[in-house]
Amino acid sequence: MSSNQLDHKSQAWSALFSEPMSDLVKRYTSSVGFDKRLWRADIQGSLAHAAMLASQGIISAEDRAAIERGMQQIAGEIERGEFDWKLDLEDVHLNIEARLTQLVGDAGKRLHTGRSRNDQVATDVRLWLRGEIDLIQGLLSDLQKALLQLAEQHAETILPGFTHLQVAQPVSFGHHMLAYVEMFARDAERMADVRRRVNRLPLGAAALAGTSYPLDREQVARALDMDGICQNSLDAVSDRDFAIEFTAAASLAMVHVSRLSEELILWMSQNFGFIELADRFTTGSSIMPQKKNPDVPELARGKTGRVVGHLVGLLTLMKGQPLAYNKDNQEDKEPLFDTADTLKDTLRIFAEMVGGITVRPQAMEQAALRGHATATDLADYLVKKGLPFRDAHETVAHAVKAASARQIDLAQLPLDELQRFHPAISEDVFQVLSLRGSLDARDIAGGTAPAQVRRQVALHRARLA
């Protein structure tokens, strides 16, 4: 028998075919190069399946013991890097099954009773993704804690708040950091919600129609700590909503990282000079010795497009598929794996980078003085003196115009000149027009007053404890 014929005979489905798969097709269709990372989930699912088969009397207790013994040896071989992954065996599932059969004989062949690779791979991906979500939740928590530390340290630090990238009103730098805590908290909520739908068991759906063996799918779900079973066999093997949902949640988390990155990049530039990143998160230039480039936030901004691209790819992958399983679904793994890897790496490095930010309060305060940031405070002051808000708005606009013409801040206009805009203005206006006064005045829930910042820090710390 030729080597090609031997390879042909080794295929799990080969008996029907009269010629071996071509090497080109073998390489094109093989997934073992990337799906071997599912090996722990594959063994975990197989052991739960074997235990159920034995408890239902479908395989013997001896077969179950042999399967468990063989799987323990396979896990050790993989962990030590001794496992021989074979391209001819296509994927992680057939590689592990073939090695199991080598080790324990017919017991290994009986393991696949009552299941298909279709429900097996869907189970493996869900088990793997559940673990990734748990890791990501921890990393989101670490990043929030790093931001909270920065927020607490700088509850009193004045930062120009922007709208349209124009100086709008003074805010606490701590308050600004808390905005990102809110974003990443929502990301954590979304991940928890996705996890509930990930944590459903497809195993037992078999190829597409279920099986005639008396399986106890609920037992397997309990053994794998899943929240229940997928109720429709057709949907169970073909559903990839959970992968799309995860990638959507990951995309939004990366968008939040990208927004933070954009601000860090701007703030670090000489035109702002608000912060400094630790040297270990930056690089220099090959020809300009003065440069200190914010490579980490720039790369994170770029990697956001990569993750969003994976979301579009997965949506496109599924849009034209009829029920049930199709080989197209092999293409779900690489974007899913890369999304999880990219998000984990990004969150990990950002938690450390945020902890190493040096803040330049004086530069922030000077910038806040340049844009008439307390103009709204003057309008509110006049409203409290009895002026309708629209009239107050118009009055302050004239005062701003006068200050701009003299290239000074609104607070630098003399009292007699301010009184020409409205006679109700008195000496107490200068407290209102100060950056500190503006900050302290916004002492309401969700406001930027330092007292509110500290209150919010405490609430978030309690949530993350």
Domain boundaries, the chain: 3-113, 121-157+175-212+236-358, 366-464
Q: How far apart are CA 250 and CA 37, in angstroms?
A: 20
* CATH code for residues 3-113: 1.10.275.10
HSE value, Cβ hemisphere, 13 Å, CA-based, for 108: 20
DSSP state at residue 53: H
| Fold: same for 3-113 and 366-464 | no
pLDDT range class, residue 285, cuts 50, 70, 90: confident
Q: How far apart are CA 114 and CA 220, in angstroms?
A: 13
Q: Is CATH 1.10.40.30 the right assignment for the domain spanning 366-464?
A: yes
Q: What is the mean pLDDT of the chain?
A: 94
Contacts (Cβ under 8 Å, ≥6 apart) of 132: 340, 344
Mean pLDDT of 277-285: 88
Supply the pLDDT for residue 128: 98
* 92: pLDDT strictly greater than 60: yes
Output 434 or 4, whichever has higher pLDDT.
434
* 86: pLDDT strictly greater than 50: yes
User: Is residue 393 among the annotated active site residues?
Assistant: no
Supply the pLDDT for residue 13: 59
Supply the pLDDT for residue 11: 61
φ/ψ (deg, to 5) at 172: -75, 135
Query: Which of 336, 345, 346, 324 has its CA nearest to residue 124?
Result: 336
pLDDT range class, residue 4, cuts 50, 70, 90: very low
- Express each pLDDT in 6-58 by its tens digit: 344 456 656 788 888 888 888 888 999 999 999 999 999 999 999 999 999 99
pLDDT range class, residue 270, cuts 50, 70, 90: very high
* 313: pLDDT strictly greater than 50: yes
Answer CATH for 121-157+175-212+236-358 from 3.40.50.620, 3.40.50.720, 1.20.200.10, 1.10.357.10: 1.20.200.10
Mean pLDDT of 203-207: 98
- Express each pLDDT in 339-392 by its tens digit: 999 999 999 999 999 999 999 999 999 999 988 999 999 999 999 999 999 999
**Which residues pair with residue 358 across a beta bridge?**
276
Supply the pLDDT for residue 10: 52
Supply the pLDDT for residue 29: 86
Among candidate residues 285, 398, 404, 426, the one labeled active-site is 285
Mean pLDDT of 186-196: 98
φ/ψ (deg, to 5) at 178: -65, -25
H/E element holding 20?
A: none
- Express each pLDDT in 386-421 by its tens digit: 999 999 999 999 999 999 999 998 989 999 999 999
Task: Residue 413: count other Cβ atoms within 10 Å of its Cβ.
Answer: 22
Among candidate residues 18, 164, 212, 286, the one labeled active-site is 164
Q: How far apart are CA 131 and CA 371, in angstroms?
A: 49
Both structure tokens of 187: 């990301």
User: Is residue 112 among the annotated active site residues?
Assistant: no
Largest CA distance in the chain: 106
Query: Which of 346, 305, 336 has its CA nearest to residue 140?
Result: 346
Q: Which of 18-27, 154-163, 224-233 has the lowest mean pLDDT?
A: 18-27
Reported pTM: 0.93
Q: Are 245 and 315 in contact (CB under 8 A)?
A: no
